[in-house]
A = this chain, B = another copy of it.
Amino acid sequence: MPRQVAERTDLLPKLADVFRTHGYEGSTLGEIGRVTGLGKGSLYHFFPRGKAEMAEAVLADIESWFEVNVLGPLRHPGDPRRSIREMCHAIDAHHRGGRRVCPFALFALGGAREPFAPALRRHFQQWSEALARVLVLAGRGPAPARTEAADAIAAIQGAMVLARAADDPRVFAGAVARVEARLLA
């Protein structure tokens, strides 16, 4: 397996997979090296501060995906209902029936959350606020919009837990569909 010059950006999806699968503490440089095909020397070349920097980069990468595919549509809503549908579709596709865990949720529950606390808070807060604004556009009052947005996001995160516990992707897809229906009601 001859290896060419790697780019930091190309590594991020593979790193994300590792962190998603094993959590932060469970992810080892050995496994990361195996998945990326890179030795520790290369990994430290791209991420001088090691594992912590890799995890930060993964969160930042997902954040920017999220910005484009979820927050973007929510913030420029031609039609509020359409942007809600886009959000739910993007979420469902991205998480693959709950099999692809959200590292933000994983880190929020897990033991190594302190270093990532600001990123976690920001992520869910931005999402929640953007969704609440759309719900106001769709006709809700400001206060109900906020709780409904928070509940929708919680329902999605919780559905991921249940889907993985049941080992059944349909659990996740069904839950997201009901979230969508409730938001559109």
Contact = CB atoms under 8 A, between A and B. Distances in A.
Contacts of A147: 174, 178
A23 B106 CA distance: 10
Contact of A22 (B25, B108, B154, B178): B25
Chain A, interface residues (CB within 8 Å), range = 35 or more
Contacts of A128: 162
Contacts of A69: none
Contacts of A161: 105, 108-109, 124, 154, 157-158
A101 interface: yes
Interface in A73-115: 101, 104-106, 108-113
Given A157-B157, A157-B158, A125 B166 contact: yes
A155 interface: yes
Given A154-B175, A158-B155, A158-B161, A166 B124 contact: yes
B111 A23 contact: yes
A164 B111 contact: no
B164 A157 contact: no
Contacts of A120: 164-165
A6 interface: no
Interface in A1-45: 21-27
Contacts of A113: 164
25 contacts: A21-B111, A23-B25, A23-B26, A23-B109, A23-B111, A24-B26, A26-B111, A101-B109, A104-B165, A108-B162, A108-B164, A109-B110, A109-B164, A110-B110, A113-B164, A120-B165, A124-B165, A128-B162, A150-B174, A151-B175, A153-B158, A153-B162, A154-B159, A155-B158, A158-B158
